[in-house]
């Protein structure tokens, strides 16, 4: 299944970096920017996380940013601390989110069977509908942050 613009998301559960089980419905009524990262502590992911963290002013627009990787909550807790990000980091260690959002990548870093998230972005409207989707052609590619910001603020 692939989520496309106009589709409504279902309420899924996922652990955050503090090992707290969270549900997407916690953010209902807000716009949500979901950013899938291939892996914590990788240079491109660090750059993207830090750039998205600069979007903090979006809270005034009722936008919540969620970062998702397949890394464990333990790794994400340390990554959050090291990068000093305010973004909520979520651990998709069971691959439920990357499969549901169709954001999988196999072979990260040349590891033949290693499965991770592909670098992708979704904007979810307060009613749960997908209004924007971007998928990297390669996990090493970053999104156009100016375009993303205009999609959020526009």
Domain limits for position 46: 7-153
Q: Using the predicted structure, report yes or no on whether residue 139 has a pLDDT greater than 80.
A: no
Tell me whether residue 1 is in a domain. Answer: no
pLDDT at 25: 94
How many structural domains compose the chain?
Answer: 1
29-80 pLDDT, tens digit each: 999 999 998 888 776 667 777 778 887 777 677 889 999 999 999 999 999 9
Which pLDDT band holds residue 1 (cuts at 50, 70, 90)?
Answer: low
The domain spanning residue 79 has which CATH number? 3.40.30.10
Tell me whether residue 2 is in a domain. Answer: no
DSSP string, the chain: ----TTPBPP--EEEETTS-EEEGGGGTTSEEEEEE-S-TT-HHHHHHHHHHHTTGGGGGGTEEEEEEESS-HHHHHHHHHHHT--SEEEE-TT-HHHHHTT-EEE-GGG-TT-EEEPSEEEEE-TTSBEEEEEE-SSTTPPP-HHHHHHHHH-
Q: Using the predicted structure, report yes or no on whether residue 10 has a pLDDT greater than 90.
A: yes
pLDDT at 110: 66
88-136 pLDDT, tens digit each: 999 999 999 999 999 977 666 666 877 888 889 999 999 999 999 999 8
């Amino acid at each position: 299944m692939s989520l496309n613009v106009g589709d409504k998301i279902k309420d899924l559960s996922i652990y955050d970096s503090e090992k707290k089980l969270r549900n997407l419905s916690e953010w209902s009524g807000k716009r949500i920017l979901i950013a899938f990262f291939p892996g914590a502590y990788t240079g491109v992911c660090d750059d993207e996380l830090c750039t998205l963290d600069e979007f903090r002013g979006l809270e005034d627009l009722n936008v919540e940013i969620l970062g998702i990787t397949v890394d464990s909550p333990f790794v994400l807790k340390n990554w959050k601390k090291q990068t000093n990000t305010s973004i909520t980091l979520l651990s998709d260690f069971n691959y439920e989110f990357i499969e549901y959002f169709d954001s999988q990548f196999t072979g990260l870093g040349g590891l033949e069977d290693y499965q991770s998230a592909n670098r992708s972005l979704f904007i979810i409207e307060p009613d749960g509908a997908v209004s924007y989707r971007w998928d990297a052609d390669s996990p090493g590619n970053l999104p156009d942050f100016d375009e993303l910001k205009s999609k959020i603020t526009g």
